[in-house]
Amino acid sequence: MFAAGPGNYALRVYLDSVNSNMCQYAFIYINADDGNYQVYSSLLMSSWVAGKTIEATITKDSQGFCHIVEFYAR
Q: What is the pLDDT of residue 68?
A: 95
Q: Is the pLDDT of residue 16 over 70?
A: yes
Domains of the chain, by residue range, sit at: 2-73
Of residues 70 and 16, the one with the higher pLDDT is: 70
Q: Is the pLDDT of residue 3 over 60?
A: yes
The string of pLDDT tens digits covering residues 20-60 is: 667 878 899 999 999 899 999 999 999 999 999 989 999 99
Q: What is the pLDDT of residue 26?
A: 86
Which contacts of 2-9 are long-range, i.e. CB under 8 A and separated by 24 or more positions?
2/27, 6/31, 6/32, 6/33, 7/31, 7/32, 7/33, 9/65
Q: What is the pLDDT of residue 20?
A: 62
